[in-house]
Structure 1
Amino acid sequence: MSQAVTGSTMLRRQIGRKFESLRKAAGLTMEQAADRLDRARATLHRIENGAEHVRFRQADVQQMLDLYGASAEDSELLLALTAATRENKNWWHDYVGSGLPRWFQLYIGLEAAASGIRQYEAELVPGLLQTRAYAEQVFKMPGGSINVGDTDEQQRAVQLRVERQALLTRFSAPQLSVIINEAVLRRPVGSATIMAEQLHQILKAAELPNVTVQVLTFSAGLHAGAMTGAFSILEFPRDSSGKEVEPPVAYLEAATGAIYLDKPHETAAYNTIWADMTGRALNESRSKSLIQQVAEEYSRA
């Protein structure tokens, strides 16, 4: 499967999930929505299931958004994503406008649908484990997708990051497995107080039955993740017959865009990298001990 087709398929599935969510929030059945839109129920079914050959005319998309009472933010996102299905381009790049970039909004949708998330971070605490104070320091830095001069934009980004963390304690929460480089613990982000609070937050999250944290220490030496940098692997629920509803996705983020990889050989490569790091990292117990030790060092600073 080509990269373009793979990207289009993933994009359409995300569009479908968004439209389904908006319809249900509006209190409409598929039959009611189809009737009010003067469209066939089968057409709405294909849209919500991410079918490949649905054409998204802007006027039709706007009609659905109006019927569902979509917010300005959801309308902007869906108009952009559906336009990307018509433009035959790498839709996940170059969508850095106001607020969060749309390529990251897509990741949030995939994250919310995932049954398992594996993350490797070399420099920063993973977003799902960050405290508000730590996140505020991160979003102040230049070089990212947030305008460092826009305080309101920074605060919206911080608030979203904090709200995403409810994912870990919801009903049917995903399994989160995290490997962090020892540098994440040792490099101060903000004050010693912020770092001590942040490391205690990681320890608190690691007490959840669906969260595991391992530290890849400097003494582990060269490892496969050193060649790749940070990445995430997302896996999704299976249907009643055990069939994948959505293929696993490897996600890599940069300052101006992101790449979503779901070809079998691509995700297999990242599974191999993950296995190498898992074998070299401290086990959960020893990782917690190290995090506690460094937290105490910050508390005494």
Structure 2
Amino acid sequence: MPEDESPTLLRRQLGRFLREQREIRGLTIAIAAQEVQLSPAALQRLETGRPQKLRKQDVRALCELYEVEPEEMDKAIDLAAQAAKNPDITALGGLFSNAFNMYIGMEQSARSLITYHEQIPGLLQTADYANALISAFYRDASRDEIARRVDIRKKRQVIVTRKARPLAMEVLLHESALHRVIGGPRVMATQLRELAEISKLPNVTLRVHPYSAGMTWGILHGPFVILDFGTDRKGKEIEPPVVYVEGRVSSDLYVEKREEVQRYHELADAVRADALDEIRTRDLLRRVAREFEA
């Protein structure tokens, strides 16, 4: 894909949403385009996020055709407006805004990901561990709201364990995540034992980056996720790869420039070089779990 044809963050999210809604309805691009008076080429460009004039009326017409719920339709139209106004945006939302489920949408579409974390990643968390983390952050939320968020997190995990084309996931986990007590010793023991078991899946690689490795590149770089979306039958990228850096209490950051994505791959290579192998990682997880059980 030529550089000036690269889809931008907001266009990609909008296109992904519209494509998923069309596929849910079982419509081809040709039929959907005809129904809303667009050319098939225009709809294809819209779904792949490639540059073109974004019209809110087109997005509304497609959402109506796909029978999208009013709230989701409003979000899609707003996303189209944002994409038209500020197409090059790379910082969005943060934990106080779901940003139209920006990251979750990318995660669901990814074929593989590489992540470095300093806590257990959401895709591998037990319900009790997730509940403790979410409760600590959303301190004023009701029990029902906490339960809803935990349920969403657990449902996301199906992409790792499903039989048909599961997500290929490489996790580089800092050793501090094993010792930072989330939810109490019992919760931690169960979480670490379950982590050791899920790391046996053929699509999951889990390695601990030990304290003894010091700081990679001499910096505290923090967590990141590299998402890859694979290629189509012709070998072309379905979507360009992207790096997600969680904003915690500020804006989330999405890195799309190829040279910057490559730097994160180099960072992952450096972390990987000093990480324990998979067998020693499982041994460490089980040993620390026993310590929590003592």
- Please, what TM-score do these two structures have when normalized by structure 2? 0.89
**Does 2:110 align with 1:114?**
yes
Q: How far apart are 1:49 and its partner, in Å? A: 2.4
Q: How far apart are 1:35 and its partner, in Å? A: 3.2
Q: How far apart are 1:257 and its partner, in Å? A: 2.0
Cα distance in 1 for partners of 2:179, 2:265 equals 27
* 1:176-197 Cα deviation digits (max 9, x unpaired): 0101111100111012111111
Tell me the equivalent position of 2:194. 201
Tell me the equivalent position of 1:26. 25
Q: CA 1:60/1:242 → structure 2, altered by over 3 Å: closer, same or farther?
A: closer
* 1:186-217 Cα deviation digits (max 9, x unpaired): 11101211111111121121010010111111
Tell me the equivalent position of 2:291. 297
Tell me the equivalent position of 1:280. 274
Q: 1:216·1:277 contact (CA, 8 Å) conserved in 2? A: yes
Cα distance in 1 for partners of 2:130, 2:76 equals 27
Tell me the equivalent position of 1:242. 235
Tell me the equivalent position of 2:55. 56
The residue correspondences of 1:75-224 to structure 2 (distance < 5 A) are 75-88=73-86, 90=89, 92-94=91-93, 101-102=98-99, 105-122=101-118, 124-142=119-137, 146=138, 148-170=140-162, 171-224=164-217
Code of the aligned partner of 1:203: A
Cα distance in 2 for partners of 1:79, 1:193 equals 46
**Structure 2 SS opposite 1:117:** strand
Cα distance in 1 for partners of 2:216, 2:90 equals 32
Q: 1:147·1:154 contact (CA, 8 Å) conserved in 2? A: no
The residue correspondences of 1:6-21 to structure 2 (distance < 5 A) are 9-21=8-20
2:252 alignment partner, one of 254, 258, 280: 258
Q: CA 1:96/1:230 → structure 2, altered by over 3 Å: closer, same or farther?
A: closer
Cα distance in 1 for partners of 2:244, 2:218 equals 14
**Structure 2 SS opposite 1:141:** helix
Q: How far apart are 1:95 and its partner, in Å? A: 6.9
Tell me the equivalent position of 1:269. 263
Structure 1: stretches of 5+ with no match in the other structure:
none
Q: CA 1:281/1:189 → structure 2, altered by over 3 Å: closer, same or farther?
A: same
**Structure 1 SS opposite 2:136:** coil
Q: How far apart are 1:232 and its partner, in Å? A: 0.7
Q: CA 1:102/1:245 → structure 2, altered by over 3 Å: closer, same or farther?
A: same
* 1:45-100 Cα deviation digits (max 9, x unpaired): 2212222113132x332222122111345324312321211221636424776xx5
Code of the aligned partner of 1:231: F
Code of the aligned partner of 2:105: G
Q: 2:46·2:52 contact (CA, 8 Å) conserved in 1? A: no
**Structure 2 SS opposite 1:53:** coil
Q: 2:224·2:243 contact (CA, 8 Å) conserved in 1? A: yes
Q: How far apart are 1:147 and its partner, in Å? A: 6.7
Structure 2: stretches of 5+ with no match in the other structure:
none
CA RMSD in angstroms comes to 2.5
Bigger mean CA offset, 280-289 vs 270-279: 270-279
* 1:265-297 Cα deviation digits (max 9, x unpaired): 211211111111111111100000000001111
Cα distance in 2 for partners of 1:220, 1:209 equals 26
Q: 2:9·2:90 contact (CA, 8 Å) conserved in 1? A: no
Code of the aligned partner of 2:66: Y
Tell me the equivalent position of 2:35. 36
